[in-house]
A = this chain, B = another copy of it.
């Protein structure tokens, strides 16, 4: 197997090419340049790594080249920011996001943003998670005991990053967990997150009661050494919270949360994650691994949303946030889950209040339970709403949620759905760069530059293929209509005719129209009541 080059998708996304802008310290910041047929172009944020660079050879066995310089001093991004230093990563991020480097520093220093960048993962391109920056999207990959292989998971990671995933989480729980993660890390251009308890549980034969701090700690250190950038830790699941889930419709739906609750109950003790939290902070800080404090008691159904169990855990996460920050470790907070629309905003407000504005990282939320098979949509609705309210990163949900392990196509659908939610929120939050792309695409649409419209889309391939289903011929790419309305009923074509007519007749303002109405009324009647407007084909 080691001799076969695993298959990953390479080559530029349709209609674009990779360009770089240099930072002052010489790092090359990637952008995807979308060329337009009118000679203009739009550079967009690019998560896809060297895989979409036509000039770069890819060798999955060797992995990506190290991008980030080795740093002499052992300070975390947070510690550097607090000292007033702008790190090379912060500088990279500033160029990438189109913001001042000082804003990056300030937000990281305040703990309102994190830069998940393990010093042992130099292949990754620096990125930031915080509400004053572009809303980020995470894609979960990883096998289960039932299905998938190492090769498939590496392929999914590359594929997810290609379509815009800002980070990936390797949630493997099946066989070859270490090897899968190693291959993912060495080839990932985006930060990689994990949930170490999964591997720890495998190490003790799958029995939660046999877990211990020592097994867990060793697993964490192994993963830190490999280069994992952020780790989900369910240290907020306390023994006394378990009974709060007893009356729930769906109990505990977080895998890590359920495992820790089982451990606490079996041992009748407070969780070892909670007891050894300070020690865990120090381990993570040593590599600059970011905490993602897990919501082990998140609601798994509409009925359980915003209940006591959920908010009790959130309070504990707030206490842990303070401890981690004191020790110089970066922290973000995970959020739900299943939440109806009217209860979403409260989640953000409470999280900001209890966790001192640590970046919020939410799974969806799903806004109804009744649509298995379409939970990328039920949750994109909630994701857009919660991101608008201040969530910094959205964990995607695929169409297979609740039903099975996502395949490659599900991963793409999940990522695109979440790029939509994130972008909708960025527009609503008024991110200065967001609307450029909408305007460019709508202008192309109005001008019937079909290929430009496709290339500016989040998924050019699908847009083009949907159009071509009914009008595949090349002339249709400049035609002033599509099959939806046909030539005579195309409103944009008619608008174009109207504008030309108005221009030629000087009818470009309301005043001119009103003056014209008086004047032309007579003329019209005299002329027999017909004016030739060249509107039909």
Residues of A with Cβ closer than 8 Å to B? 144-147, 173-174, 198, 201, 205-209, 239-246, 249-255, 257-259, 261-262, 265-269, 300-303, 338, 340-342, 367-374, 376-378, 380-382, 384-385, 388, 399-405, 407, 416-417, 419-421, 423-425, 427-430, 435, 437-439, 441-443, 445-446, 453-454, 456-459, 462-463, 466-467, 469-471, 481-492, 494-499, 501-502, 507-510, 512-514, 516-517, 520-521, 524, 529-533, 535-537
B521 touches A268 (CB 8 A): yes
A302 touches B427 (CB 8 A): yes
B483 touches A146 (CB 8 A): yes
Known: A369-B441, A467-B404. A377 touches B420 (CB 8 A): yes
B381 touches A240 (CB 8 A): no
What are some 27 contacts across the A-B interface (CB < 8 A)?
Answer: A144-B485, A201-B488, A207-B533, A209-B533, A239-B517, A253-B492, A258-B491, A261-B494, A261-B498, A268-B520, A300-B491, A303-B435, A338-B442, A370-B420, A370-B437, A370-B441, A372-B463, A373-B462, A374-B416, A374-B420, A374-B459, A374-B462, A377-B420, A402-B445, A402-B453, A403-B466, A404-B467
A457 touches B372 (CB 8 A): yes
B488 touches A246 (CB 8 A): no
Residues of B within 8 Å of A253, CB to CB, are 491-492, 495
Residues of B within 8 Å of A407, CB to CB, are 469
Distance between A193 CB and nearest chain B CB, rounded to angstroms = 17
In the complex the two chains form, what is the Cα distance from A18 to B495 in whole Å? Answer: 48
B531 touches A209 (CB 8 A): yes
Q: Which 10 A-B pairs have the closest CB atoms?
A: A251-B495, A145-B486, A301-B442, A341-B428, A373-B462, A258-B494, A266-B533, A268-B520, A367-B424, A258-B491
The oligomer's copy count stands at: 2
B484 touches A400 (CB 8 A): yes
Residues of B within 8 Å of A463, CB to CB, are 372-373, 403
Known: A378-B420, A458-B371, A537-B206. A513 touches B399 (CB 8 A): no
Known: A251-B499, A381-B380, A502-B243. A368 touches B420 (CB 8 A): yes
Residues of B within 8 Å of A174, CB to CB, are 486
Candidates B240, B370, B374, B496; contact of A514 at CB < 8 Å? B240
A453 touches B494 (CB 8 A): no
Residues of B within 8 Å of A372, CB to CB, are 441, 453-454, 457, 463, 466
Residues of B within 8 Å of A471, CB to CB, are 146, 404
B342 touches A402 (CB 8 A): no
**With A240-B510, A265-B501 already in contact, 4 other A-B pairs whose C-beta atoms are closer than 8 Å:** A244-B510, A262-B497, A373-B457, A403-B467
Known: A255-B491, A482-B402. A417 touches B377 (CB 8 A): yes
Known: A239-B517, A424-B378, A439-B249. A370 touches B483 (CB 8 A): no
Candidates B144, B251, B419; contact of A446 at CB < 8 Å? B251
In the complex the two chains form, what is the Cα distance from A498 to B245 in whole Å? Answer: 10
Residues of B within 8 Å of A401, CB to CB, are 484
Q: CB-nearest residue of chain B relative to A376?
A: B377
Candidates B245, B446, B466, B524; contact of A404 at CB < 8 Å? B466
Candidates B266, B446, B486; contact of A531 at CB < 8 Å? B266
In the complex the two chains form, what is the Cα distance from A471 to B145 in whole Å? Answer: 12
Candidates B340, B378, B516, B533; contact of A428 at CB < 8 Å? B340
Known: A251-B446, A377-B420. A243 touches B507 (CB 8 A): yes
Distance between A206 CB and nearest chain B CB, rounded to angstroms = 4
B517 touches A486 (CB 8 A): no
Q: CB-nearest residue of chain B relative to A246?
A: B508
Distance between A497 CB and nearest chain B CB, rounded to angstroms = 7
In the complex the two chains form, what is the Cα distance from A382 to B425 in whole Å? Answer: 11
Residues of B within 8 Å of A146, CB to CB, are 470-471, 481-483, 486-487
Candidates B208, B243, B262, B442; contact of A369 at CB < 8 Å? B442
B510 touches A243 (CB 8 A): yes
Known: A457-B370, A463-B372, A531-B266. A207 touches B424 (CB 8 A): no
Candidates B207, B261, B381; contact of A536 at CB < 8 Å? B207
Residues of B within 8 Å of A262, CB to CB, are 494, 497-498, 533, 535
Residues of B within 8 Å of A441, CB to CB, are 369-370, 372
In the complex the two chains form, what is the Cα distance from A37 to B472 in whole Å? Answer: 49
In the complex the two chains form, what is the Cα distance from A464 to B535 in whole Å? Answer: 50
Distance between A373 CB and nearest chain B CB, rounded to angstroms = 4
Known: A302-B435, A405-B470, A466-B404. A240 touches B513 (CB 8 A): yes
In the complex the two chains form, what is the Cα distance from A501 to B242 in whole Å? Answer: 12
Q: CB-nearest residue of chain B relative to A421?
A: B381
